[in-house]
Chain A
Amino acid sequence: MGHIEFHQVTKRFDNGHEALKDISVEFDEGSMTFLTGHSGAGKSTFLKLLMCLDQPSRGQILVNGVNVTQISPRRLAYYRQNLGAVYQDHHLLAHRTVFDNVALPLRVSGMREKDIVRRVRAALSRVGLLPKEQLFPGHLSTGEQQRVGIARAVVPRPKILLADEPTGNLDPELSQDIMHLFEQFKQVGTTVIIASHDHDLIESMNSRIIELGNGSIVGDRIDGHV
């Protein structure tokens, strides 16, 4: 549960712009990969296709051998329950507390409230936000909001973890800490893909690095080897 394969995926937007061009790439279960590249290279588009927030114009995206671009709404919902995602614009609910925001995926999956409290507290304390669990997102700094988003992504213990610029608003020390959190998930078998253009951070992680440029893969290396 967590093998991902892009097979000749092209994404062309309505205005004719090709954000991804004939991408073919594979991710093993329990691997950790950084997607990098200049702004506008197609990193967010790549992740959005994998989250099924948009459809590719051509090609297939296989997760465990199933083409997720063509699954029923119900299976898509179950797929997303197994997917942890950190969004560039957080997608937090302004009228719910930090606690309730993080609890959302667990409530959707019907977990017992007792277990929810335990797991949400654990996730919040992991990202250092336990003291602020009763605040509303509007009262948090951008970096804190981002950490709420991260806690919500990891709280269901997903099989696949996708993050779009998760450390964009965090200082280096916190960024490093969040990366270690992701690495812990990788170690228990979660497939992790992180879009980031923070070179120093990426280089420090000894992971696979895929570089996008104008919608194509221009580099794919592990730990400095091409």
Chain B
Amino acid sequence: MLKGQSALVTGGSRGIGKAIAVELAKQGVNVAVNYSGNREKAEEVANSCRKYDVEAFTWKADISKEEEVKTMLKEVTSAFGGLDILVNNAGITRDNLMMRMKEDDWDDVMNINLKGVFFCSKAAARTMSKQRSGKIINIASVVGLTGNPGQANYTAAKAGVIGLTKTMAKEFASRNIQVNAVAPGFIATDMTEQMSEEARDAVLSQIPASHLGKPDDVAHAVTFLASSSAGYITGQTINVDGGMVM
């Protein structure tokens, strides 16, 4: 159903973004894999995508820099002759208790996790609105809905992403662009690897499914939202969290 379409996945070099890029390729989508520093990992992901007989290439850009984002979108759009799917996945954490959190930690997370989504979506919307079709899928987080001690910056940014998702859904609906968010719970990636065993156990006790999710679990929700089956769904946030937040 997605065969022959084109996608840009930000932060596609590792973790959830990698799973999304490969899953889209599996569905026949040509994929641009964005990364910020990990060129080798990104190339590996592009190679894995090509196994499914699609076009794939990598593009280095810091999504918190508007000029870099504009150039990336221009290159990706001209390489694919358009852009059907944008997945705003790139994100970082800089955790600390609120009273100990530094301004830089706040700014870094806001700039990448929230402003980056704004820049990428703004640039992509230009192409998509001309095409009169497109899908924007933002990777938020369930903690953006619930709050989480130690993540003031991250939860604020992710709640911001959910609000931005709704506004874009309204602004772009008349152009046949659907905008949705996927909110993962705890997914086993480099990001969650950093957690202490104690914190991990505490988290597990909150998950009815009593195990961490896999990047593929998120990727499947993304491919559904990217497909025409989801054409009448917009402005929504789907939790992929083993029942953690209901």
The answer on A and B forming one complex is: no
